Amino acid sequence: MQKNRNVIFKLFRDANLKLYNSSIKTPAYLDLEEYFPEYKILEENWLDIKKEIERVIDSGKTLPKFHEIDDGQEYISDNDGLSWHLLNLLLYTMWHKKNAELCPITTSLLKKIKSVKSAYFSILEPGKHIPPHKGPYKGIIRYQLAISVPKKGECKILVDGKPYFWKEGKSVLFDDTYTHEVVNSTSEYRIALLLDVKRNMPGFFMRQYDSFVFRLIQFLVILNNTFSKSKV
């Protein structure tokens, strides 16, 4: 069953991206000022954001692993015996009320930015490697704010083969429909705030098509019981 789901996912992803790529041409990494100038409010408050997620982690709450939320992600989340944990706050415009209440400052900041459609904290265990993969949907741009970065060793993301090394309190923006992977070959955890930022669509047809795909993803989030699986 899972194998069949993965085949269907890849067929949909490839057909979907072919249509998007015919109208949208952007590099792997995107300019923050041009595509997401609101990042400044997050960088200005990153220490408060850091305190909130560290308080949640220190409380002993069990954060779900990515593949426990979406079993279709086993190939990137459960690939090496090490964990990739998530704290979902916002899922395609739908707030996870209980989780959001754990991070009131972060939630308040995100609610001021209308282009943010999904938001979650990503926590990688020491040594965790997320293998090469790519997203299926070009209607969003992936933003990352580094919250806690290992001081020694290699901790980076590669998008289209180009490395970016996180710096605490600093942002990066990229198109996750390019092949990308994450390497944390250190003895420390890496924590980041990840956002899906809505991309402006060119032309009437692409705006209508993108609206349809976005609603379809919302439906799949509900169908997958993602909110229940995301609860800490």
In which element (H, E) is residue 3 found?
helix 2-21
Q: What pLDDT shows up at residue 131?
A: 96
What CATH number is given to the structural domain containing 178? 2.60.120.330
Rounded CA-CA distance 76/180 in Å is: 11
Q: What pLDDT shows up at residue 19?
A: 87
Tell me: pLDDT of 3 over 60. no
Q: Are 84 and 66 in contact (CB under 8 A)?
A: yes
Tell me: pLDDT of 6 over 90. no
Tell me: pLDDT of 222 over 80. yes
Q: What pLDDT shows up at residue 139?
A: 95
Beta 116-124 vs 190-198: how paired, if at all? antiparallel
Residue-wise pLDDT for 23-69, tens only, equals: 898 999 999 999 999 999 999 999 999 999 999 999 988 999 999 99
Q: Are 203 and 53 in contact (CB under 8 A)?
A: no
Q: Which residues contact 113 (CB under 8 A, 6 or more apart)?
A: 38, 41
Residue-wise pLDDT for 151-192, tens only, equals: 988 999 999 999 999 999 999 999 999 999 999 999 999 999
Residue-wise pLDDT for 194-219, tens only, equals: 999 999 999 999 999 999 999 999 99
Specify which residues 195 forms β-bridges with: 119, 143
| Number of domains forming the structure of the chain | 1
The confidence band for 99, taking pLDDT boundaries of 50, 70 and 90, is very high
Beta 154-159 vs 190-198: how paired, if at all? unpaired
Q: What pLDDT shows up at residue 9?
A: 66
Looking at the chain, the whole-number percentage of residues with pLDDT higher than 90 is 79
Q: Are 123 and 155 in contact (CB under 8 A)?
A: no
Identify the domain containing residue 134 by its residue range. Answer: 2-230
Rounded CA-CA distance 20/209 in Å is: 9
Return the residue matching tokens 């209440």: 101
Nearest-CA neighbor of 145 among 221, 197, 68?
197
